Copies of this chain bind each other. A is one copy, B any other.
Amino acid sequence: MEAPSIPDFSRGDGLLPAIAQHHETGQVLMLAWMNQAAWEETLATGKAVYFSRSRGKLWRKGEESGHVQTVREIRVDCDADTILLKVDQVGAACHEGFESCFFRKIASNGSAQICETRLKEPSEIYSHP
């Protein structure tokens, strides 16, 4: 069996950006990072698995929050160095409690304003009574 050559984890120090997009609405939910192991586990399980740069380990999206991403389709770009996951999102993709991490709009003067509705308070997401 020929090994798949894409995505190409020899680029970007072995970490490639992965965009998660809502499968039905097209909303861009978040951007995270994948290494080879995250990629393989995502393919094998059908759930989004990333590599957390801050924690230095695999991040099975939803493992703490329950906000799992079920992968419906995977695409890779022309340079084989960016991954696009089309997902069904349980709950909020964002740890701040918004459906999407991109909840701030930038005005032409560079200022930011929140333009989405928060679904949950962060304290609700991560507290496990």
Contacts and interface: CB of A to CB of B under 8 A. Distances in A.
Interface residues of A, number: 37
Interface string A8-33: 00000000010101000111101100
A6 interface: yes
A34 B99 CA distance: 25
A4 to B, nearest CB: 4
B106 A78 contact: no
A50 interface: no
11 contacts: A4-B106, A4-B111, A26-B27, A28-B84, A46-B108, A74-B106, A75-B105, A77-B102, A78-B98, A78-B104, A79-B101
